Structure 1
Amino acid sequence: MAALSATKTAKKPTPQPDGGRFPEDYLGYQLARASHLVTSSLHDQFAGYGVSVPTWRILTSALGKRRTITEIGQLVLMKQSALSRALDRLERDGLILRKRSETERRLVYIELTPKGRKQAEQLRATAALHEKRIRQSLSAADLKQLGLLLDRVILALAD
């Protein structure tokens, strides 16, 4: 019992001079925790497909719009080296093709194969259900406000 009590005591947040709790009230922590929880639960949803969240992001980024590798990298929040390895694997698995632009040789586009399109559509449907469950915890006004606030944070910090 003493060990449990000590553990609870150790987990108490450190009061801050402004009355806030650190890290619980730190915006970066709140954003990271929310992102972690959303991503972790989505990863659990994708386990049955044998794909990771980054794979889902790549496949669905290429669904419905022709995009360059650079565009996909920006959308999926991956470093170039990790993205290249993931694209190599997806190409090897027959889910994507890399197509060099006929007019601008430096541009390489990612296209889904029929197999890749089918998987991307399944993953998108799973993600839509996942997001619906999350959105149900907020009102329409809350969702709109949250979107606006997140856009402001992103705009303030984007390069």
Structure 2
Amino acid sequence: MSDEDGLELTEENARVPRLGEIGLENFPPYLMNRIMGRYNAALRDEMGKLGLTTPKMRTLAVLSVLDGLLIRDLAIYAVVETSTLSRALDALERDGLVQRVTDREDSRAVRIHLTSKGRETHDMLWPHLATAYQQMFRGISEADQRAFVATLQAILKNVRKHPI
């Protein structure tokens, strides 16, 4: 038997504790949302100075590592809805930070590339991203950080809908 999301209901998970029983401070999705909310808030002023929003910043960050992605893949990596990404790309292109290039193999597909100005903008933001990242892990051993990242990777593998 399955629920409406297609999750298999078994005797083992039929009686899952309610959120009130678990408590917000023990519920990982809540904790992850709080952490990312604080991370984004810590960067908001610096992003604003560069004319960036969170979707624009994520786009530049992903392209700084994986330049030339197809729009659909960029949306997945940047964790941005396609419609939001489309608006962000329009603004980033208008500001000269990214360039749309028709795919060589499929003329219907478009790849997104960072321009030199886009790379410079990301490079200006990077120290602030790195500081926020370091603050998150202050007082946490390297071994615990590696274990945490491995756990996050396993969770992502369990929940992802795309091969990337």
Calculate the TM-score normalised by the size of structure 2: 0.77
State the identity %.
Answer: 27
1:70-109 map, 5 Å: 70-109=72-111
Aligned residues between the structures: 142
Relative distance call for 1:15 and 1:79 in structure 2 (3 A) is: closer
Instruction: Name the counterpart of 2:11.
Output: none
1:52 and 2:20 correspond = no
What RMSD in Å do the two structures reach over aligned CA positions? Answer: 1.9
Q: Deviations over 1:88-126 (max 9, x none)?
A: 111111111100012211221111222212112212232
- Aligned letter for 1:127? L
Contact 2:98 2:118 in 1 (8 A): yes
- Aligned letter for 1:108? V
Runs of 4+ in 1 over 3 A off after TM superposition: none
Q: Which has the larger radius of gyration?
A: 1
1:66 and 2:68 correspond = yes
Calculate the TM-score normalised by the size of structure 1: 0.79
- Aligned letter for 1:98? R
Q: Secondary structure at the match of 2:112?
A: strand
- Aligned letter for 1:114? S
Q: Which deviates further from its counterpart, 55-64 or 76-85?
A: 55-64
Question: Which runs of 5 or more structure 1 residues have no equivalent in the other structure?
Answer: 1-13
Question: Which runs of 5 or more structure 2 residues have no equivalent in the other structure?
Answer: 1-18
